[in-house]
Chain A
């Protein structure tokens, strides 16, 4: 069975500080991992996916198959990064399995 775990429900950092949102997964095949973000009063939207290996809004995430992790990182957090972040796993097309989410609060 596939499972996505985000151990932190809330992460609070000061503006300019580095931020890392943790995500661990369990899946027997080759997964596709995503980070979705939900800003206040907005719909859930894709932030980035591991196969793109891109940086979006300064965020990056590297898939570590040995540690089964896909942590989201940003070197300098901004207040506008405050949102709910969800890590998700795609099991080859049928559906996304989401973690419980981490609320990021960036304080001025």
Chain B
């Protein structure tokens, strides 16, 4: 596709339910990132995948959060037993590689509301 694609664009879920958010990076991009954009909190790094290397999970806020990337392309962010504080826009991004000079492209985000 032309850009990073995320689904669903909007999700309302009940507290305690699990949710899955999907990201299709730009074709050929080896690096994939998940960020969270909360009201008043700015952009928070969650997890980063680069090729076949082990992901950098240092930004995941709790063990309820996990992510995987299958076949080096599509990624799924899973939030188990959702809480109201999980309500945010979850942004996926990808880049051709890593290192200085690379441009990171963002998707439009998945807006999650936990009620």
Contact = CB atoms under 8 A, between A and B. Distances in A.
B104 A93 contact: no
Interface string A78-99: 0000000010001011111111
- Range class of the A interface residue count: 20 to 34
A45 interface: yes
Given A43-B107, A44-B106, A45-B106, A93 B100 contact: yes
A93 B99 contact: yes
Interface residues of B, number: 26
B56 interface: yes
Contacts of A90: 100, 102
Contacts of A32: 100-101
Contacts, number: 53
A101 B42 contact: yes
Given A94-B48, A101-B42, A51 B103 contact: no
Interface of B: 3, 33, 35, 41-45, 48, 50, 56, 59, 91, 97-109
Given A32-B101, A49-B103, A98-B35, 8 more contacts: A43-B3, A43-B107, A46-B104, A86-B42, A90-B102, A95-B45, A95-B59, A98-B44
30 contacts: A32-B100, A42-B108, A43-B3, A43-B106, A43-B108, A43-B109, A44-B43, A44-B106, A45-B106, A46-B103, A46-B104, A49-B103, A90-B102, A93-B98, A93-B100, A94-B50, A94-B56, A94-B98, A95-B45, A95-B56, A96-B45, A97-B45, A98-B35, A98-B42, A98-B43, A98-B44, A99-B42, A100-B42, A101-B42, A101-B43
